[in-house]
A and B are shown apart, each in its own frame.
Chain A
Amino acid sequence: EVQLVESGGGLVKPGGSLRLSCAASGFTFSSYSMSWVRQAPGKGLEWVSSISSSVNYIYDADSVKGRFTISRDNAKNSLYLQMNSLRAEDTAVYYCARDRGHYDSSGYFSGRYFFEYWGQGTLVTVSS
């Protein structure tokens, strides 16, 4: 059974830092691209960052570029999100998600991904 368990959330002051972790189990972690998605209280979903299986590719949303850094340790089956220079608008539940690739009708990988499995989320609150 695929399990994703986030940790590291909490209350932090504006300008502060926090590091989120996601412990993965039930699948071969090193074979999958992974992502972070967040949801502000009472709001919709927002993709934050993605990292390829071998760390060849990293993509960040413009809203976090230069402040957040996604990383992974395949030996520890873990995904991380280092969040610096936090702002009030970063307050959200942060979900770790396992990516799955879109394949076309001929079975060719498209290079695009969707979120197949999600963790339960960890709440980050940025407030003075």
Chain B
Amino acid sequence: DIQMTQSPSSLSASVGDRVTITCRASQSISNFLTWYQQKPGKAPKLLIYSASSLQSGVPSRFSGSGSGTDFTLTISSLQPEDYATYYCQQSYRTPRTFGQGTKLEIK
């Protein structure tokens, strides 16, 4: 199975900060990388697909980049509603696997 490793596992940041979350795959996955946001008690929500394509309706402060094994999710200016847990997920090989999550908390 392809292992997905996110860093950091948790992060404290202030409103207005620029935040970057990293996801590393255990082997090359081309650009078959997706990012999700999950708030407590809610279902995950699609943010970014194909490593850098923004899902319709998602604010433009979210962006994704990377290819191969190394990927990043960037929030350009953190808003109060962005405090959540973020997951990356690869679709290159079955089983589709997720990173362990990055919990973004208020500083």
- Residues in A with CB closer than 8 Å to B32 are 102, 110, 112, 114
Return the chain A residue nearest B48 by Cβ: A114
Interface of chain A: mostly helix, strand, loop or mixed: strand
CA distance A56 to B61 in the complex (A): 39
- Residues in B with CB closer than 8 Å to A118 are 43-45
- Residues in B with CB closer than 8 Å to A32 are none
Q: How large is the interface on B (under 10, 10 to 19, 20 to 34, 35 or more residues)?
A: 20 to 34
CA distance A62 to B32 in the complex (A): 21
CA distance A116 to B45 in the complex (A): 8
Whether B49 and A45, one on each chain, are in contact in the complex, defined by CB atoms closer than 8 angstroms, is no
Whether B50 and A45, one on each chain, are in contact in the complex, defined by CB atoms closer than 8 angstroms, is no
- Residues in B with CB closer than 8 Å to A95 are 43-44
New A-B contacts (12) at CB < 8 Å, excluding given A46-B98, A47-B98, A50-B96: A37-B44, A44-B99, A45-B38, A45-B44, A47-B95, A47-B97, A59-B95, A102-B31, A114-B32, A114-B34, A114-B49, A114-B89
List the interface of chain B (C-beta within 8 A of A).
31-32, 34, 36, 38, 42-46, 49-50, 55, 87, 89, 91-92, 94-101
Cβ contacts A to B, 8 pairs, < 8 Å: A44-B99, A45-B89, A45-B101, A61-B95, A110-B32, A114-B34, A114-B91, A115-B89
